[in-house]
Amino acid sequence: MDALALEKIIFNEKKLQRILDNLRDGVIAHDLQRRIFYFNRKAEEITGYSREDVLNRDCHEAMGRSFCGEFPTLNDSSEYTITITTKSGESRRLEMFATTMVDEKDQPLGILATFRDITEMPELQIKSRDIYSFANIVGRDSKMLAVFRQIRDVANYDFPTHIYGETGTGKELVAMAIHNERYKNGASFVPINCGALPEGLIESELFGHVKGSFSGAIRDKKGRLELAEGGTIFLDEVAELPKYLQVKLLRFLQDGTIEKVGSEIAMSVHTRVISATNKVLKEEIRKGNFREDLYYRLNVIPIHIPPVRDRKADIPLLVDHFLRQVSESSGMEMSSFSREAMALMMDYKWPGNVREIQNAVQFSIVTSKNRIILPSDLPIELKSVQAPSYQRGPSRKLDADIVRAAIRKAGGNKSKAARFLGVGRATLYRFLSDHREMLGKL
């Protein structure tokens, strides 16, 4: 090759490098052995890793499995979002598009991926309170926005997470949201209700058994922990685990190994553990029902799901969500709640939380004679709620979150918002005047 031809090739390579370095998206490419051979300037900026850090290195070793573990199988392409940890330890949310590179004979060469940083998009939504649904969890109350942030923050770490809250608050939804934020490659989410199975079966269900280990064990069986390999095990109602199984679970959390029923061979299992309960575990420890050492192993990252009575501003959102669900699944015209019916919904204490709201909405749709749901269509326990009084002065059920949600739902029309809240316009304007600093600019 003459000097002129070589100079031309070098010039073209530099030109291509300059073009790719000026893209707004990060670009990374690796071969079939996951060895990185291209990394542009935007990729450096987003991840914090320099070219010198990653080039000619295995992608998993250079940048961690959270970044490189989601690429598509060969002869495939995919688009997804992931949470990564930058070189400085910061969590970033990325939108990825990865595809298989092929040669002139359509033989696979490796993987090419482009990505952009979308970390601030959901965060800005949360800060502006424009977000009202996250991973199928509905809420705009500040307490739920804090839960949304926690889900995003913990998703990239495999530390044991414990979710606590009353029955019906959506603990399994939160567990699934954490799992789905972390894994986009079909990793298993395996739930088990520790209180729903007889004590004689729970050990086999959780840890598995070998053939002949007990009467009826006609073959080897994998337990839920083994089935969750590479994914997430969700231990619902973990406080119901018998004491002897708490010991076995503690051993798994300590060294990552399990022994099947009837076996003396320890096997290694890699799975994320998320637990949940509607009981106060510290109280169960005091009663002698739960091991304190297991509590500290499970409760590395605690997440509290607030009850509905502590976030009443979300009730109209939840009602609208369930009405829409029924409409979409049945093909029927969407129903709506009258002002009086919604006032009763807002005043009720909801001991069954979100699950009870869903049941009430479905019941009301069935009993309603038309598309407007009236107080007479509600379940009997809601009808017994003392009707709200509309005396002069701020209503006892008004608070900043409820008022803010109502005004947004009414498109800024305060008269309509007052009707939605079940108060007079004067009451609403008086509340707005008295709480101007708390509400800010609506």
pLDDT tens track for 291-338 = 999 999 999 999 999 999 999 888 988 999 899 888 888 888 889 999
Are the C-beta atoms of 356 and 348 separated by less than 8 Å? no
Gap between the Cα atoms of 377 and 395, Å rounded? 25
Average pLDDT over residues 271-293: 95
Gap between the Cα atoms of 107 and 105, Å rounded? 5
Taking the model in full, what pTM does it have? 0.63
Q: Within the chain, what is the greatest distance between any pair of CA atoms?
A: 95
Average confidence score pLDDT of the chain: 81
pLDDT at 34 over 90: no
Are the C-beta atoms of 42 and 24 separated by less than 8 Å? yes
DSSP per position, 254-311: HHSEE--BT----EE---EEEEEESS-HHHHHHTTSS-HHHHHHH-SEEEE---GGG-
pLDDT at 9 over 50: no
Average pLDDT over residues 148-167: 90
Are the C-beta atoms of 184 and 228 separated by less than 8 Å? no
| 192-221 per-residue burial string, b: 16 or more CB within 10 A, e: under 16 | bbbeeeeeeebbbbbbbbbeebeeeeeeeb
Alpha helices, H only, 275-412: 281-286, 292-298, 315-330, 339-347, 353-367, 380-383, 400-409
Q: Where would I find the beta strands (DSSP E) of 56-185?
A: 77-85, 91-102, 108-117, 133-134, 137-138, 161-164
DSSP per position, 105-119: TS-EEEEEEEEEE-T
Side-by-side strand order, sheet with 301-304: 189-193, 232-236, 272-277, 161-164, 301-304
The whole-number pLDDT of residue 29 equals 87
**Structural domains present in the chain:** 20-118 (3.30.450.20), 123-306 (3.40.50.300), 309-439 (1.10.8.60)
The whole-number pLDDT of residue 396 equals 42
Residue 268 half-sphere exposure, CB side, CA atoms within 13 Å? 3
Q: pLDDT by residue (tens digit) across 377-407?
A: 999 888 776 544 433 334 445 677 777 777 7
Q: Of 36, 40, 10, nearest to 22 (Cα)?
A: 40
Q: pLDDT by residue (tens digit) across 79-97?
A: 777 777 788 877 777 888 8
Q: pLDDT by residue (tens digit) across 38-63?
A: 888 888 988 889 989 989 998 888 87
Gap between the Cα atoms of 128 and 125, Å rounded? 5
